[in-house]
Amino acid sequence: MIAAIVLTAVIAFLIVHTYKNAYKRPPNFPPGPPSLPIYGAFWIVLAHDYNDLASAFRKLGEKYKTKILGLFMGPVPTIVLNDPHLIKEMLNREEFDGRMDIILFRLRSFWKKLGIFFTDGYFWHVQRRFSLRYLRDYGFGRRDDTLESVVAGEVKEMLDLRLSGPKYPAEHEIVKGDLVQMPYFFSVPFINGMVQVLSRSTLPRSEYHALWALSKGTVMFQRSSNDMGGALSLTPWLKDVLPNFSGYNSLVKGNQFLLDFYSKLVNDTMDTHDETYDRHFLDMYLTRMKEEMRQKGRSTYSVDQLLLTCTDYTFPAASAVQFVLAMLVERLLLQPEIQDKIHEEIDRVVGRDRLPNLDDRRNMPYLEACIRETMRYDTTVPLGVPHRAMKDTTLGGYNVPEGTMMSFNLTMLHTDKEIWGDPENFRPERFIKDGQLDVASDKSLPFGAGRRLCAGETYARQTMFQVFAGFMQAFHVTTADGKPLLKPARRIQGIITTIPEFWVKVNVRK
């Protein structure tokens, strides 16, 4: 009897304690769902849309009648912005430039805070400034004739893979007769272009299998970051008790492809490095590292940091941009009239005797608009990469405590009726005015904004144009079975938006 009374009292205490903590919030914190033990509001978010966190946050914003949502993810105060104006304000304010220190970011960098994407403060500032300053010398972030020529050569190899058929075993996994696999048919020009930027060299076609493996590993990593990846970040011990279910093993395996690839490249560079002559960016980085060590006895530069710098700049090229083009190919199957317009523009501006080049880009507004509309319609990075408030501040009339995780719902910006009018329609013409690309009308932020703007935006936009223009100049696409495509494939949400790999019939244009 006494034991039953004690048990009842303990249960009652836990219920009252849990209830009180569920609604405990910092002063003047934005409204949002209550917190549950251990995971805070995480499971409540998943309950609103397990497969699409951006959609879940939209629904929660509607439920609580707010465009600035406040909640706890585990013990971490979190603000999610569903308002386009607040998103832009936050991205452009320096006090929100911080990054979260979570297992998802640590496991990819030898359990240290390394790289460019997921670091902040003085270390991030030094490393980002150095890398962008010298990567520009090799075409990253600006137009470069050598890089453009290299990408054009990779596009030719891509086209030949379909026109002449596979030459090497791995190519049979990408091309089968007149069928090609999306998105991996597009992978090589993007990745080899980044290898060129970093090392002034590219992998030959006989080694493309390594680039496809790298791409697939990167896709595995970023897809594993959603849903259970969030639980892993909140309770890191899951990696020890549920390594498969928590996504930990997939994250480690996917990340290892990038690390293994660049470890070999960096090790080969170190074996032949001569401080008196810099051949490429990798040499320049190693030279700076050794200089600092001699001068100061310590350095923010290291071999591990160089590896993570390479993987960070390659990550979008190995995953995001190829899926943008794959989703655009899917759109051509859903709206065939778009394919006809692209073909007409290419034939009128370029013809068939040479590959489209970056000089043609300004005269091909429709193709460029199609790429931009794809990144708007299927938001490339729906929730961006979380920021962190680096000091106590305010936003949208609410208090933001130091350390608050800041998430921004770019899907809300890209589907706002006040901005786009008919966001539910895929309509490239929205970016064209008087027959020219109207960049001012593009209010989308597929690459973010502010000091955390994706450093690879220029490279991504230029290379997407080269790859897709060359592809469309040569080919006409239909579904693999010849039947009309009636609805889009499901979207897979991770760090970026992807779709299931699919086969498409690629016919040589007459």
Q: Which pLDDT does position 251 carry in this prediction? A: 86
Q: What is the pLDDT of residue 6?
A: 55
pLDDT of the residue at 13: 46
Residue 274, classified by CB atoms within 10 Å of its CB into exposed (0-12), middle (13-18) or buried (19+), is: exposed
Instruction: Specify the DSSP class assigned to residue 40.
Output: B
Residue 38 is predicted with a pLDDT of 87
Residue pair 74/38 in contact by the 8 Å Cβ criterion:
yes
pLDDT value, residue 242: 84
Q: Phi and psi at residue 447, in whole multiples of 5°? A: -110, 15
Length of the chain: 510
CA–CA distances in Å: residue 291 to residues 131, 274, 413: 16, 13, 46
The string of DSSP letters for 363-411 reads: G-HHHHHHHHHHHHHTTSSTT-S-EE-SS-EEETTEEE-TT-EEEE-HH
Please, which residues have CB within 8 angstroms of residue 338's CB and are 6 or more apart in sequence? 331, 332, 370, 426, 428
Mind giving me the DSSP string for 270-335? HHH--TT---SHHHHHHHHHHHHHHHHS--S--HHHHHHHHHHHHHHHHTHHHHHHHHHHHHHHH-
- Beta carbons within 10 angstroms of residue 26's beta carbon: 15
Whether 400 and 462 have beta carbons less than 8 Å apart is answered as no
Contact (Cβ atoms closer than 8 angstroms) between residue 441 and residue 125: no
CATH architecture of 114-381+415-508: Orthogonal Bundle (1.10)
What backbone phi and psi angles, to 5 degrees, belong to 493? -100, 125
Cα dihedral 200, 359, 355, 176, rounded to 10, equals 70
Segments making up each domain of the chain, as ranges: 114-381+415-508
Residue 99 DSSP SS3: strand
| DSSP category for residue 142 | S
> 370 among the known binding-site residues?
no
pLDDT of residue 17: 47
Q: Is the dihedral of CA 357, 362, 363, 364 positive or negative?
A: positive
Tell me how far apart the terminal alpha carbons of the chain are, to the nearest angstrom.
89
pLDDT in tens, the chain (510 residues): 676 665 565 555 445 545 556 678 999 999 999 998 888 999 999 999 988 999 999 999 999 999 999 999 999 999 999 999 999 999 999 999 999 998 888 888 899 999 999 999 999 999 999 999 999 999 998 999 999 999 999 999 999 999 999 999 999 999 999 999 999 999 999 999 999 999 999 999 999 999 999 999 999 988 887 644 578 888 888 888 888 888 888 888 888 998 999 999 999 999 999 988 899 999 999 999 999 999 988 889 999 999 999 999 999 889 999 999 999 999 999 999 999 999 999 999 999 999 999 999 999 999 999 999 999 999 999 999 999 999 999 999 999 999 999 999 999 999 999 999 999 999 999 999 999 999 999 999 999 999 999 989 999 999 999 999 999 999 999 999 999 999 999 999 888 999 999 999 999 998
This prediction's pTM: 0.93
Q: What is the pLDDT of residue 241?
A: 85
